[in-house]
């Protein structure tokens, strides 16, 4: 497994660009538009586009809403820095 980037506090870093790409891929697969995602996440389409570009990482509440909206798990949306496939779960290696 790839080594993850870890902050001074020991928390792994989320890769915002790859996470955004993953969100967009799920939207395309499900044929769900940004407007629908925005309505279900109680935000604006501008914010949804910021998520998909990787400019902003959705908070946990919105990650949960996104997962429900896109019919997946939160883990299917998040990509950790250093994870080539985004599926590694071992934070300590």
pLDDT digits (tens, 9 = 90+) for 10-67: 667 899 999 999 999 999 999 999 999 999 999 999 999 999 999 999 999 999 999 9
The pLDDT value recorded for residue 11 is 67
Considering Cα of 20, then 25, then 30, then 35, what sign does the dihedral take? positive
The pLDDT value recorded for residue 12 is 74
Domains and CATH numbers, the chain: 16-76 (1.10.260.40)
Q: Please check the confidence at residue 88 and state whether its pLDDT lies above 90.
A: no
Which residue is listed with tokens 């279900």?
A: 40
The pLDDT value recorded for residue 37 is 97
The pLDDT value recorded for residue 4 is 55
Q: Which of 58, 59, 62, 35 is nearest to 46 (CA)?
A: 35
User: Is residue 2 a contact partner of residue 18, using CB atoms and an 8 Å limit?
Assistant: no
Angle at 78 between CA 68 and CA 42, to 5 degrees: 40
Q: Please check the confidence at residue 82 and state whether its pLDDT lies above 70.
A: yes
């Amino acid at each position: 497994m790839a080594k993850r980037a870890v902050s001074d506090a020991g928390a792994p870093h989320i890769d915002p660009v790859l996470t955004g790409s993953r969100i967009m891929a799920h939207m395309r697969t499900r044929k769900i538009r940004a407007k629908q995602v925005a309505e279900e996440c109680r935000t604006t389409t501008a914010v949804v586009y910021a998520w998909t570009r990787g400019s902003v990482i959705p908070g946990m509440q919105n990650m949960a809403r996104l997962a429900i909206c896109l019919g997946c798990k939160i883990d299917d949306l998040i990509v950790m820095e250093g994870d080539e496939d985004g599926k590694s779960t071992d934070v300590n290696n």
